[in-house]
Amino acid sequence: MVGVAGECILCGKCLEVCPLLAATGREELGPRAKADLCHLLARDEAGLRGADVARLAGLCLGCDRCAAVCSQGVDVPGLVAGLRGAHPDFKGWLWKTWLSHAKTLWPVGSAMAGLVPDSLRPERFGPLLKMLAGLRDGPGLTPALAPFLTPTSFPDTHRGEPMLLFPGCTATHVRQRWLAAAHSLLHGLGVAILPGDFRCCGSGLKSAGFADEARAMALHNLAAWRGAGRPKVAVFCASCLSALRGYTHYIDDPAEAEVWRNSLILLSILAKDTVFVISGAVPDRIAYHRPCHADGAGSDHLLLVAALGDRLVESTDRQCCGFGGVMALGAPELADRVNARCWDQLAGAELVLTGCSACAARLDATAPAGVAVGHWLEVIGQMRR
Ligand code: SF4
Ligand code: SF4
């Protein structure tokens, strides 16, 4: 059977990468079943109960792993987002409110959530509080640990080049130390950082079914980039980068879409030839969690391998942190099962580093006692002079 773009040929490739399927063993929760459901709906919408469709649409982590391996271009998370948009509910509203009012809600909400012990978390809001607690702007890694990678020399590759820095919501509203470390690295690299009025990348809104709101964010961010003269954009969150790459759908001119796509660059790629020395107390066992949205080359990981050598003892590859966005509100027990598999892989690590805001928040909120979690930027210190 020859498939056309967007038509599932039942090859099963996506089944091998879906973390929800791996954690539950339930094929009806996997990407192929969701693709089937959407095609069924396209043919006979009345044949399925709205409540059933809405329930199944809720059960997807939005990790995009299936879409990345599908040779037919079947975009299951995109289809799921469409279903979510067509079946709005309270969880979606809560999620949208949380994302749309990040500036006011995140600092207060996350600080308060961190004060509520697990045993006192009300059942209905428990998952949200857990997610919030992982975003709180505490001291970060313990003072004895951070920062312990000190740059001693920087490459000249990008010296003098003007660039924008895309900070993302987490660094902007609750983890400003990431932003400070990113600025420090860019200054060391000699990059001329341009002022840019970026907003949320829109990924959380898009995967929850709020296509119009996500589009508005994208158009605003594209206008900021155009206003700055279409320079390179440095990014340090894998999920933000993935969302930003998707903006090409909002650009009419293919040539400009290409310029946009090529302008996006991970901070770890910019910094790849930086020389670091290890200073201070460093954990013996450091692990790296690879985000689902990590770039193919694994640039964050490569940077850490070069800087840490054999102190980097473990890394996840196929495991998802179980953040799940709006799914974590509707099916927290399933998201927890995905998360538990991730921690199984990371067992024994004293410190887990990652390169995604959502992964950092989720892993921080669920870390076993005595295990620190942070964005890799948190271990980067000031240049030694
Ligand atoms: S990888 Fe694509 S074509 Fe293959 S089963 Fe999954 S959705 Fe269908
Ligand atoms: S987006 Fe992730 S969780 Fe959802 S169906 Fe695809 S692989 Fe599974």
**Residue 347 is inside which H or E element, if any?**
none
Which carries the bigger pLDDT value, residue 358 or residue 126?
358
Q: Place 118 in a pLDDT band, splitting at 50, 70 and 90.
A: low
Q: Place 273 in a pLDDT band, splitting at 50, 70 and 90.
A: very high
- Measured in angstroms, how far is the CA atom of residue 248 from the centroid of ligand 2? 22
- Measured in angstroms, how far is the CA atom of residue 311 from the centroid of ligand 2? 32
Residue 311 · residue 288 · CB < 8 Å = no
Q: Place 4 in a pLDDT band, splitting at 50, 70 and 90.
A: very low
- Whether 30 is in the pocket of ligand 1, judged by its Cβ within 6 Å, is no
- Measured in angstroms, how far is the CA atom of residue 348 from the centroid of ligand 1? 36
Q: Is there a domain that residue 101 lies in? A: no
Nearest residue (CA) to ligand 2, atom 7: 18
Q: Is there a domain that residue 43 lies in? A: yes
Report which bound ligand comes closest to the CA of 9: 1
Single pTM value for the model: 0.89
Reported as a single tens digit per residue, the pLDDT across 150-208 is: 999 999 999 999 999 999 999 998 888 899 999 999 999 999 999 999 999 999 999 99
Q: Report how far Cα 78 is from the mean position of its chain's Cα atoms.
A: 16
- Measured in angstroms, how far is the CA atom of residue 64 from the centroid of ligand 2? 6
Residue ending a domain, among 57, 87, 117, is 87
Q: Is there a domain that residue 253 lies in? A: no
What is the predicted pLDDT for the residue at 57? 78
- Whether 10 is in the pocket of ligand 1, judged by its Cβ within 6 Å, is yes
Phi, psi of 263 (to 5 degrees): -80, -20
- Whether 326 is in the pocket of ligand 2, judged by its Cβ within 6 Å, is no
Residue ending a domain, among 58, 87, 116, is 87
Residue ending a domain, among 51, 67, 87, is 87
Smallest Cα–Cα separation from 372: which of 358, 360, 356, 355?
Answer: 360
Q: Is there a domain that residue 141 lies in? A: no
Q: Is there a domain that residue 243 lies in? A: no
Smallest Cα–Cα separation from 346: which of 306, 301, 308, 289?
Answer: 289
Which residue(s) pair with 287 in the sheet? Answer: 314, 352
Which carries the bigger pLDDT value, residue 114 or residue 55?
55
Reported as a single tens digit per residue, the pLDDT across 322-377 is: 998 888 888 889 999 999 999 999 999 999 999 999 999 899 888 998 898 999 99
The token pair that represents 196 in the structure block: 């840019």
Q: Is there a domain that residue 108 lies in? A: no
Q: Which domain holds residue 347?
A: 275-379
Q: Is there a domain that residue 188 lies in? A: no
- CATH number for the domain spanning 330: value is 3.40.50
Q: Is there a domain that residue 223 lies in? A: no
DSSP annotation string for 294-346: --TT-HHHHHHHHHHGGGEEEE-SS------THHHHH-HHHHHHHHHHHHHHT
Strand 351-354 relative to strand 286-289: parallel, antiparallel, unpaired?
A: parallel
Residue 53 · residue 322 · CB < 8 Å = no
Interatomic CA distance for residues 325 and 204, integer angstroms: 7
Residue 244 · residue 201 · CB < 8 Å = yes
Q: Report how far Cα 355 is from the mean position of its chain's Cα atoms.
A: 8
- Whether 56 is in the pocket of ligand 2, judged by its Cβ within 6 Å, is no
Q: Place 5 in a pLDDT band, splitting at 50, 70 and 90.
A: very low
- Whether 75 is in the pocket of ligand 2, judged by its Cβ within 6 Å, is no
Q: How many CB atoms lie within 10 A of CB 211?
A: 16
